[in-house]
Chain A
């Protein structure tokens, strides 16, 4: 299994540009998550999904959109990039939402908005 994969690894955007961060998992997990990590801060949840066709907002959803058309893929869309979106983005997945459930993370996408 490849686990959770993310592309690209690094990207520079200009203000106002748009892009899609790709995330895929091959573990047949129903639950998927997008986090952002800012320097010196913990991970903040952007969006999550409990299954194909079902998504919901996390703590910091503004400026982002997601879709979940398949179990495997959970892309994150930035429509109008802003400097405040400079961060490292992590995608994660889990088999269930039980409180003791482990989340599996991708390697992250580093985004710089100038």
Chain B
């Protein structure tokens, strides 16, 4: 079956540090890949996505590149801010006809300290 593996948290960084959150997946074919973010007290919201190999999703300074050869979709940001403190979820959705459920990773908590 499909699965998503994320690095365990929490990840604690100082403001302006470089961020990488690793995500690898197992799936047949070419699924769509997503990063969702959950700020404290809120629901998940889409951060970025990529729908085919070598695509790069980007938003709010975050980037992730769909790497088919390494089955990875690592999230990066060059300079984190305190406001980026949240839980980040990697997810995939198979690229098949009909309804296909989204498979989520376990989430990685990021804490940015001033």
Interface flag for A75 (CB, 8 Å): no
Interface flag for B13 (CB, 8 Å): no
Interface flag for B113 (CB, 8 Å): no
Partner of B99, one of A50, A92, A104, A108: A50
Across chains A and B, the number of contacting residue pairs, with CB separation under 8 Å, is: 59
**Is B43 a contact of A100 with CB atoms below 8 Å?**
no
B residues near A, CB below 8 A? 4, 31-32, 34, 36, 41-46, 49, 51, 89, 93-96, 98-107
Query: From residue B89, how far is it (CB to closest CB) to chain A in Å?
Result: 7
Interface of A is mostly: loop
- For the side of the interface on A, what is the size category? 20 to 34
Write out the residue numbers on chain A whose beta carbons fall within 8 Å of the beta carbon of B94.
99
Using A42-B89, A103-B102 as known contacts, list a sample of 4 further A-B pairs with CB atoms less than 8 Å apart, ordered by residue number in A: A6-B43, A45-B101, A99-B93, A101-B93
Decide: A99 near B43, CB < 8 A? Known: A41-B106, A43-B104, A45-B101. Answer: no
In angstroms, Cα B103 to Cα A48, docked, is 14
Closest A-B pairs by Cβ, 10 of them: A105-B43, A42-B104, A105-B44, A43-B104, A102-B46, A100-B51, A100-B32, A99-B32, A107-B43, A99-B95
Interface flag for A58 (CB, 8 Å): yes
Query: From residue B40, how far is it (CB to closest CB) to chain A in Å?
Result: 10
Write out the residue numbers on chain B whose beta carbons fall within 8 Å of the beta carbon of A42.
4, 89, 103-107
In angstroms, Cα B71 to Cα A104, docked, is 26
Write out the residue numbers on chain A whose beta carbons fall within 8 Å of the beta carbon of B41.
107
| Residue of A41, A45, A103 most packed against chain B (CB within 10 A) | A103
Query: From residue B50, how far is it (CB to closest CB) to chain A in Å?
Result: 9
Interface flag for A61 (CB, 8 Å): no
Interface flag for A81 (CB, 8 Å): no
Query: From residue B39, how far is it (CB to closest CB) to chain A in Å?
Result: 10
Q: Could you list some 11 contacts between A and B, CB below 8 A?
A: A40-B106, A41-B106, A42-B4, A43-B89, A43-B104, A59-B101, A97-B98, A97-B100, A99-B96, A103-B102, A105-B45
